[in-house]
Amino acid sequence: MRPQRLLSVLLALSTLVIAPVAAGSASGPLATCGPSPDAGTLGIGDPYYPRFGNGGYDVQHYDLAIRYGPGTNHLRGVATIAAQTTQALSCFSLDLVRLNVSAITVNGDPATWSRTHHELMITPATPLGSGADLTVVVSYEGFPKGFVIPSLDAVSGFIRTADGVVVAGEPEAATAWFPVNDHPTDRASYTFAITVPNAYQVVANGVPESEDAQGNWTTHVWQAHDPMASYLATFDVGEWTIRTRVTSTGLPVIDAIDPDVLRRVRASVRREPEILSFLESKFGPYPFESAGGIFPDTRRLGFALETQTRPIYARYFFPHGDSVIVHELAHQWFGDLVSVHRWQDIWLNEGFATYAEWLWREHEGLGTPRQTSKAIWRAIPARSPFWDVVIGDPGVENLFDGAVYTRGAMTLQALRDEVGDDAFWSILHTWTQTYGFDTGSTDAFIALAEQVSGQDLGDLFDVWLFAPNRPPASAVTGSGVVSAPPVATEHAISWLRSFDRHSAP
Ligand code: TRP
Ligand code: ZN
């Protein structure tokens, strides 16, 4: 599918989509960094991305001191990583792609290391005990590059722009710019001390702390106190206008807007506090220290991403961007607060964020989520390849297929129809309370839904998440069928016309 077409599909069905980043492939036992039994593994055990993350330790905090020249794309960094071992370790690894390492210390002592394409394997001078504090300092430099999204011919991860850089990618971004335990199961807080030429501004996750000019360069410090998954970490260099508001509940909303898109994005940005309070009314209190968004000018950015506290938005979403803002802010609960346990659980992110868009449509008078769901079910013929994607285990190739978004949201509507409103909202609230600041799996979600509702939901989830075909009509009609008013149906169907045209075999 050509990018333009894919984009129109995205716009049609939910707000976004993007093709997956190339995966590794491995089976059998996880490789380790060395021969001895106390060597750490080179992957966390995610079947889709066997090399992502590492075994044997748990990071609490990344302190990233980075000097970046947008003109040359040269990056020099010192990453101070505070962790704890979860087993005795004679060696362990971090994930890092391309950049050159010049020095490493472990607990203050020089360490030795070796590299593969994705792994930085470190041997400390003295082996580490289990449950020990581990401070790793890695000095590195080089010319970061993004990851190509093959089907889109687009770059993600580290995206250079005319004005600087935008850092956004999923599932892979962090390894392009710092050594990291790159999997959502190892969540940490971050300090970003980013030094750039004086003419540039910097935005990152969390809250700004200080700016300190030294000659022609200024160091911008941002703190992300709330622990987050590594793919959600971002720093962005550009010509930002940074605007801060405080909502009626005292939440700072910090937006970084390229002046060249200000007119385009203004109306949607203005609605952020309203959207946040709408989402709070559905999902419970906003979970983090701040909110906002990053609005670059570049056409090289072809998507939006739910970077924690401060999502990044491509310019093409605007001026009709309210829905994508709903989507990315909903991810703050579903994706960021509760992260995927394995990447195959992705429908727990994208289905929920899409469902939030359907709730917002209702709020805007465009039909209930049940009407939206039914209209989509009717509009996509049973023979469409849309229904082939098994969203509970979509495979790396289909990780961000439109079905993960749309069928994911339909799954939630089917659940809601089955258990009723009270149990449905209670399931969502219990989910964020139980798995917040942690990861959640599809199995855990099903178990929790059954526990809260007291119902056996095995068939429902089998049909929606694991069957490679269109669920039967009875699966979308629920019990109290309400037929969609023409306006809502017409809306949903006009989206799907464009979807169907592009995806027909
Ligand atoms: N998670 C993003 C969203 O729906 C979309 C996305 C998928 C993405 N893959 C990506 C963004 C790769 C950037 C890079 O909000
Ligand atoms: Zn999303």
Residue 162 has a pLDDT of: 92
Residue 503 has a pLDDT of: 38
Residue 235 CA to residue 220 CA, distance in Å, equals 10
Q: Work out the pLDDT band at 154, boundaries 50, 70, 90.
A: confident
With 60 as the cut, is the pLDDT of residue 289 above it? yes
Residue 110: half-sphere exposure toward Cβ, Cα within 13 Å: 4
Ligand 2 mean position, distance from CA 501 (Å): 23
Ligand 1 mean position, distance from CA 113 (Å): 33
With 60 as the cut, is the pLDDT of residue 140 above it? yes
- Of the candidates 189, 208, 191, 185, the one whose C-alpha atom is nearest the C-alpha of residue 255 is 208
With 90 as the cut, is the pLDDT of residue 256 above it? yes
Residue 13 has a pLDDT of: 46
Residue 29 has a pLDDT of: 72
Residue 495 has a pLDDT of: 45
Residues with CB under 6 A from ligand 1: 16, 18, 156, 168-170, 303-306, 327-328, 331, 350, 400
Segment 477-505, tens digit of pLDDT: 754 444 444 444 444 444 444 444 333 32
Atom in ligand 1 nearest the alpha carbon of residue 311: 15
Residue with tokens 């490789």: 31
Nearest CA to ligand 1 atom 6: 18
Residue 478 CA to residue 497 CA, distance in Å, equals 25
Nearest ligand by distance to the CA of 409: 2
Atom in ligand 1 nearest the alpha carbon of residue 306: 15
Residue 496's alpha-carbon distances to 12, 368, 446, 490, in angstroms, are 7, 17, 29, 10
- Of the candidates 129, 65, 134, the one whose C-alpha atom is nearest the C-alpha of residue 106 is 134
Residue 150 has a pLDDT of: 64
Segment 61-108, tens digit of pLDDT: 999 999 999 999 999 999 999 999 999 999 999 999 999 999 999 999
Residue 151 has a pLDDT of: 61
With 60 as the cut, is the pLDDT of residue 27 above it? no
- Of the candidates 293, 285, 330, 326, the one whose C-alpha atom is nearest the C-alpha of residue 309 is 293
pLDDT (average), residues 310-328: 97
Atom in ligand 1 nearest the alpha carbon of residue 349: 1
Q: Are 183 and 175 in contact (CB under 8 A)?
A: no
Residue 326 has a pLDDT of: 98
Segment 206-234, tens digit of pLDDT: 999 999 999 999 999 999 999 999 999 99
- Of the candidates 153, 133, 125, the one whose C-alpha atom is nearest the C-alpha of residue 57 is 133
Residue 502's alpha-carbon distances to 4, 8, 95, in angstroms, are 11, 9, 38
Ligand 1 mean position, distance from CA 228 (Å): 16
Which one is predicted more confidently, 150 or 453?
453
Residue 64 CA to residue 92 CA, distance in Å, equals 20
Ligand 1 mean position, distance from CA 204 (Å): 18
Residue 49 CA to residue 55 CA, distance in Å, equals 14
Segment 390-425, tens digit of pLDDT: 999 999 999 999 999 999 999 999 999 999 999 999
Q: How far is CA 299 from the centre of its chain?
A: 20
Ramachandran sector of residue 275 (left: φ over 0; alpha: ψ -120 to 50; beta: rest): alpha
The one-letter amino acid at 100: N
With 70 as the cut, is the pLDDT of residue 21 above it? no
Residue 474 has a pLDDT of: 87
The one-letter amino acid at 304: A
Which tokens is 485 given?
């008013």
Ligand 1 mean position, distance from CA 56 (Å): 29
Ligand 1 mean position, distance from CA 486 (Å): 32
Nearest CA to ligand 1 atom 1: 305
Task: Report pTM.
Answer: 0.92
Nearest ligand by distance to the CA of 312: 1
With 50 as the cut, is the pLDDT of residue 457 above it? yes
Residue 7 has a pLDDT of: 34
Best substitution site from 7, 16, 301, 396 to test ligand 1's pocket, by max atoms within 8 Å of Cβ? 16
Best substitution site from 234, 303, 323 to test ligand 1's pocket, by max atoms within 8 Å of Cβ? 303
pLDDT averaged over the chain? 90
Report the range of poorest mean pLDDT among 61-65, 146-150, 344-348, 479-483: 479-483
Residue 28 has a pLDDT of: 61
β-strand 57-69 against 188-197: which pairing, if any? parallel
Nearest CA to ligand 1 atom 2: 305
Ligand 2 mean position, distance from CA 472 (Å): 26
Atom in ligand 1 nearest the alpha carbon of residue 324: 15
Ligand 1 mean position, distance from CA 18 (Å): 6
Q: Are 136 and 104 in contact (CB under 8 A)?
A: yes
Q: Give phi and psi for 288, each to the nearest 5.
A: -120, 175
Q: Work out the pLDDT band at 262, boundaries 50, 70, 90.
A: very high
Residue 373's alpha-carbon distances to 92, 280, 334, 487, in angstroms, are 47, 23, 20, 14
Nearest ligand by distance to the CA of 146: 1
Ligand 1 mean position, distance from CA 306 (Å): 8
Q: Work out the pLDDT band at 38, boundaries 50, 70, 90.
A: very high
SS3 442: helix
Question: Is the dihedral angle over the CA atoms 45, 49, 55, 61 positive or is it negative?
Answer: negative
With 60 as the cut, is the pLDDT of residue 125 above it? yes
Q: Are 179 and 79 in contact (CB under 8 A)?
A: yes
Residues 6+ apart with CB under 8 A from 387: 380, 403, 407, 468, 469, 470
**Percentage of the chain modeled with pLDDT above 90:** 85
Residue 387 CA to residue 231 CA, distance in Å, equals 29
Report the range of poorest mean pLDDT among 1-10, 190-199, 251-260: 1-10
Residue 302 has a pLDDT of: 87
Atom in ligand 1 nearest the alpha carbon of residue 400: 7
Residue 361's alpha-carbon distances to 196, 252, 275, 320, 326, in angstroms, are 41, 26, 12, 13, 10
